[in-house]
Amino acid sequence: MGEKPAILVTGGAGYIGSHAALALLDAGWPVVVLDNLVTGFRWAVPDGAVFVEGDIADSSLVGGLIDAHEIAAIMHFAGSVVVPESVENPLKYYDNNTARSRTLVATAIAHQVRHFIFSSTAAVYGIPDTIPASESMPTDPINPYGRSKLMTEWMLRDTAAAHPMNYCALRYFNVAGADPAGRSGQSTAGATHLIKVAVEAALGKRDGVAIFGTDYDTPDGTGVRDYIHVSDLAAAHIDALEKLIAKPNDSHILNCGYGRGFSVLEVLDSVDRMAGSQISRTMEPRRAGDPDALTADNRLILGTLPWRPEHDDLDGIVRDALAWEKSLGEKA
């Protein structure tokens, strides 16, 4: 009677998964977090969530959790996310992101889980011919990371056609920022993402920021990306969950972005502004495989879900990332 069922959040001790777990709890959904703590942190699991340390491919563990907690849906964040590492060690990505996801999906089907939400990525588009990238464009990932995620999208599509389960694959653009209330944030050491690197530099944890390419076909010559606040991204998962439950015959593949881009220089200017100091900048050659510009066509998510961005503000994203980075010293 109005009581919400429990949701299994894999990777709930990680950056995006912990924000989704917070959003679920805030909205009154019981949460079970499953994380192997290889890259996640026990302290990142929100108070109020049940925490289980373990692997998504441990079918007896996961099946037992599904049954014991009467899990209604799985939000699947667990996986490996470093693009260059995927080039060096592709089989790790095909294992963690593809093979283990297959086992998780099989366990979900065997235990009658009806809804599945999957963390996909704009990397499935590769270097798109036109931007903003829309879901109807052909996918053509250019690295094992993108391919490992795209294969899982395909598995979900075929599985949903054959079994009583629907799914939503959310294709994330550049996720950044931190919970505005300071409860979670990006905590991985050695991160390579621009905003994370820049706030570390602003706080003296690095010497400065290398700008990878200044001769791109963009207004100021540096790469342009669609940065989305992690709390808006988490909110999209809640709306996707409610949609899957309300319309059990429909599945969705949805871009998660704001539909506008900022250049590397614009991001660094924002960090300087919010930190009140100047980060040292060096010019470096292009990084292999970086597109000039990548932004989301977000008309589909806006038309499908009630989701509306609430943190579409670069300075706000940077402010929250900075605040988290400051607090991180006390936690790590």
Is-catalytic flag, 145? yes
Per-residue contact string for residues 52-91; x = within reach of ligand UFG by CB under 6 A: -----------------------------x-x--------
* Residues numbered 294-313 forming contacts with ligand UFG, rule: CB under 6 A: 294
264 binds ligand UFG, rule: CB under 6 A:
yes
Angle between helices 194-202 and 314-331 (to 10 degrees): 60
How many C-beta atoms surround the C-beta of residue 67 within 10 A? Answer: 11
Minimum distance from residue 245 beta carbon to ligand UFG (Å): 28
Runs of H (alpha helix) within the chain: 15-26, 59-69, 83-88, 90-93, 100-110, 144-162, 194-202, 230-246, 264-275, 299-304, 314-331
Minimum distance from residue 99 beta carbon to ligand UFG (Å): 19
107 vs 231 by CB, closer to ligand UFG: 231
**Binder of ligand UFG out of 72, 151, 209, 244 (CB under 6 A):** 209
**Binder of ligand UFG out of 21, 45, 133, 197 (CB under 6 A):** 197
Nearest to 139 by CA among 152, 123, 155: 123
Nearest to 96 by CA among 35, 45, 53: 35
Minimum distance from residue 103 beta carbon to ligand UFG (Å): 23
229 binds ligand UFG, rule: CB under 6 A:
no
Sign, Cα dihedral of 128, 129, 135, 138: negative
Rounded Cα gap, residues 52 and 225, in angstroms: 35
15, 93, 125, 145: the active-site residue: 145
194 vs 275 by CB, closer to ligand UFG: 194
In DSSP terms, which residues pair with 53 in a beta bridge? 35
210 binds ligand UFG, rule: CB under 6 A:
yes
234 binds ligand UFG, rule: CB under 6 A:
no
Three-state secondary-structure class, residue 124: helix
The separation between CA 59 and the C-alpha centre of its own chain, rounded to angstroms, equals 24
Residue 195, token pair as written in the block: 């905003």
Minimum distance from residue 94 beta carbon to ligand UFG (Å): 15
**Binder of ligand UFG out of 85, 140, 266, 290 (CB under 6 A):** 290
DSSP code, position 133:
B
CB hemisphere CA count around 319 (13 angstroms)? 10
How many C-beta atoms surround the C-beta of residue 87 within 10 A? Answer: 15
322 binds ligand UFG, rule: CB under 6 A:
no
201 binds ligand UFG, rule: CB under 6 A:
no
**Binder of ligand UFG out of 34, 44, 211, 301 (CB under 6 A):** 211
223 binds ligand UFG, rule: CB under 6 A:
yes
Q: Which residues bind ligand UFG (CB under 6 A)?
A: 81, 83, 121-123, 145, 174, 192-194, 197, 209-213, 223, 225, 264, 287, 290, 294
Catalytic residues: 145
